[in-house]
Amino acid sequence: MPHRFRALPKAELHLHLEGAVDRETVLEINPSLSREEVDAAFRYSDFLGFLKSYAWVTRQLLTPGHYAIATRRLLEHLEGEGVTYVELTLSAGVVLWKQQEFPPIYEAVNREAGRSRVQVRWVIDAVRQWGVEAAKPVIRLAAERVGEGVVAIGIGGDEARGPAIDFKDLFREARDAGLRLTAHAGESTGPESVWQALEIGAERIGHGIRSIEDPRLIQELKRRDIPLEICITSNVRTAVVSSLDEHPVRRLHEAGVPLLLNTDDPALFDCTLTGEFALAERQFGFSIPELEVIAANSFRYAFAYPG
């Protein structure tokens, strides 16, 4: 039976391609692995453990063809969820780290995207803890593909070891090249990280949940109309919140910050977008009209929703 939130018109704006490669797709890509090996690689208990699992999955993507399969399976799934538009994050930082050629990989995933009924735009991501020098070619590769499906750049990874402020000049260059800007912040570290993301020009904040600790920051997010890309299950699974009950999504909503609901890395978190809406309703008392506003936000705050 289709999920009751399937019919809700919605987009997804915080979704990593590599984190959406599920166990079946890993086995499809690499049939020499056993189910037990894959299950073990998907197991973790905290944020750094999660980053290791994520890195393991990315290492299975050895060819443009593998990336294309990952894209195809994800878009099939999104279509089943009733998602009509997605801004999908592709970590060029990881591609370069693996010493792979980015252009054929981008060509493969973008070709696959063109075959789907789900409209796809790309966010190209750099890994912040690897520093600014490693991020420079990532921004260049994104800038070269403005108008060819790439709409934005982002930074993700370990906030503590890669403060947003380090990327200020790079973000300015990206903006000048016609790219929109997003940054993970306030996920594994506190409000200061979100302030820094704002200072470097981020137009959406990935997670941003720890903004709740700083009333002045809440006011600033509202004043600038900057939405938080909330990923409830992700935050519980990576243990950046101590329990589901502790998640501040309801308090952020009550405070008037624009919110989005997302899955982040659905294969690693065993979650779905319709499931996140159901969770918001069941666990945090969001009404259907409130959830309709959040779903509408996913188009309103999209960087390039073509309509």
Of 155, 244, 219, residue with least CA distance to 193? 155
Q: How far is CA 296 from CA 62, 218, 301, in A?
A: 37, 21, 9
# binding residues, Zn ion (CB under 5 A): 1
Task: Tell me which of 159, 187, 203, 276 is the catalytic residue.
Answer: 187
112 makes contact with Zn ion (CB under 5 A): no
CB of 206 to Zn ion, least distance (A): 5
187 makes contact with Zn ion (CB under 5 A): no
Q: Considering only 27-35, 164-172, 197-205, 256-264, which stretch makes contact with Zn ion by CB under 5 A?
A: 256-264
CB of 125 to Zn ion, least distance (A): 8
**Is 187 designated active site?**
yes
Which is nearer to Zn ion, 18 or 81 (by Cβ)? 18
264 makes contact with Zn ion (CB under 5 A): yes
Q: Considering only 53-61, 100-108, 236-244, 262-270, which stretch makes contact with Zn ion by CB under 5 A?
A: 262-270
Which is nearer to Zn ion, 87 or 264 (by Cβ)? 264
Q: Considering only 50-58, 102-110, 197-205, 257-265, which stretch makes contact with Zn ion by CB under 5 A?
A: 257-265
CB of 215 to Zn ion, least distance (A): 25
What is the rounded CA–CA span in Å between residue 258 and residue 148?
29
Residues with a catalytic annotation lie at: 187
Task: Catalog residues that contact Zn ion under the rule CB under 5 A.
Answer: 264
